[in-house]
């Protein structure tokens, strides 16, 4: 079968991948579509260290082909959106409703794939850039069959992360003000999450002026190409500032834009060794800096919710899909994503 493999030196679309049968508690999924996220590119450029060789991809949707023993919530033929959260369901964090904090969810990656008799690692417990993938039962979330799979694919990472950061982590309330730095796939979902939450002022900041139209489409009330103009719109600062780029200087910017009792939420992914600085004295006005893993999401709850919001016209998914690519055109899709030409490019099988 086809898939995208990175061996540490090159990324290659291969056609000779093999995958084992599902074990107890696992689901075999025929992947129909997979979004290309910057996290995939970050493995290739080394920003995210990962064992190699690896089958890439982590934002996908497809149709269940087979289930292992003990799996009852999905069956062959069901449409599913895939999460990366391989949580155990039995630890204290899972029991407290915090599956993103489950230590087993970010444990050692498995090797369900092989090529030429040699095992390959699975990225983010998912590897959606393959015609078929194996996930833990908790990662396969049933969705309505009328939801386009090219759109449903984006729920599993970009939507869970961006919308979830607003609703679950920051808990943006009606009438509050939000600044979103960076309007890529994650930033656009933060913007629409803020709109859904009822934020009154949503300021999108992106150095690319061509992104204004789509930012406003998703719910931005203002658009700036520099954060310097934010204080003209919000003289006292913002209630919430989301950094969606992953640059340490922009983390400092997000903190500096806060009003009293404001929150800076960090979603962008700088290098693992990167350090950021800020004025400690500025924090004594009850300001907070919040890390956020995967939108503090609970996928089995959140994915059906977002699917229903989509069906009601309140959550935009189709509009996120700028372009679709056959998996063989991975190099073009990656180049378009790297240069910011797309909100989200989607690989299709």
* 99: CB partners within 8 A, 6+ apart: 85, 87, 89, 93, 105, 138, 297, 298, 299
Could you tell me if 185 and 246 are in contact, meaning their C-beta atoms sit under 8 angstroms apart? no
Residues 6+ apart with CB under 8 A from 12: 4, 5, 6
C-alpha angle 137-141-145 in degrees, rounded to nearest 5: 130
Please give the helix or strand (H or E) that residue 178 lies within, else none: strand 177-181
Cβ burial, residue 261 (10 Å; 0-12/13-18/19+): exposed
Nearest in space to 333 (alpha carbons), one of 50, 4, 60: 4
Handedness of CA 295, 298, 300, 305 (dihedral sign): negative
Quick check: helix, strand or coil at residue 40?
helix
Query: According to the model, what pLDDT value does residue 343 have?
Result: 81
pLDDT one digit per residue (tens) for the chain, 349 residues: 999 999 999 999 999 999 999 999 999 999 999 999 888 999 999 888 899 999 999 999 999 999 999 999 999 999 999 999 999 999 999 999 999 999 988 767 899 999 999 999 999 999 999 999 999 999 999 999 999 999 999 999 999 999 999 999 999 999 999 999 999 999 999 999 999 999 999 999 999 999 999 999 999 999 999 999 999 999 999 999 999 999 999 999 999 999 999 999 999 988 888 999 999 998 999 999 999 999 999 999 999 999 999 999 999 999 999 899 999 999 999 999 888 888 889 999 9
């Amino acid at each position: 079968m086809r898939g995208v493999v990175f061996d540490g030196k090159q990324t290659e679309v291969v056609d000779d991948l093999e995958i084992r049968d599902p074990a107890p508690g696992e689901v075999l999924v025929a992947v129909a579509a997979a979004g290309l996220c910057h996290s995939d590119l970050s493995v290739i450029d080394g920003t995210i260290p990962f064992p190699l060789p690896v089958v890439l991809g982590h934002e996908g949707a497809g149709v269940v082909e087979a289930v292992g023993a003990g799996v009852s919530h999905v069956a062959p033929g069901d449409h599913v959106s895939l999460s990366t959260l391989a949580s155990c369901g039995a630890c204290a964090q899972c029991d407290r409703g915090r599956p993103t904090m489950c230590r087993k969810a970010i444990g050692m990656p498995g090797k369900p794939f092989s090529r030429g008799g040699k095992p390959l690692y699975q990225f983010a417990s998912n590897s959606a850039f393959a015609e078929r993938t194996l996930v833990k039962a908790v990662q396969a979330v049933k969705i309505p069959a009328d939801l386009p799979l090219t759109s449903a694919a984006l729920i599993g990472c970009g939507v869970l992360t961006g919308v979830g950061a607003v609703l679950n982590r920051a808990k943006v309330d009606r009438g509050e003000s939000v600044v979103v730095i960076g309007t890529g796939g994650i930033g656009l979902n933060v913007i629409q999450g803020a709109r859904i939450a009822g934020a009154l002022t949503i300021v999108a900041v992106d150095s690319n002026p061509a992104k204004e139209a789509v930012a406003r489409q998703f719910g931005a009330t203002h658009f700036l190409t520099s954060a310097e103009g934010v204080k003209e719109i919000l003289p006292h600062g913002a209630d919430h500032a989301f950094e969606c780029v992953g640059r340490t200087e922009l983390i400092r910017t997000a903190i500096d834009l806060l009003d009293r009792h404001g929150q800076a939420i960090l979603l962008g992914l700088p290098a693992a060794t990167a350090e950021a600085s800020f004025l400690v004295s500025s924090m004594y006005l009850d300001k907070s800096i919040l890390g956020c893993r995967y939108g503090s999401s609970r996928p089995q709850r959140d994915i059906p919710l977002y699917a229903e919001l989509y069906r009601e016209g309140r959550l935009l998914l189709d509009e996120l899909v700028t372009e679709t690519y056959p998996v063989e055109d991975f190099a073009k899709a990656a180049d378009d994503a790297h240069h910011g030409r797309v909100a989200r490019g989607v690989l299709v099988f």
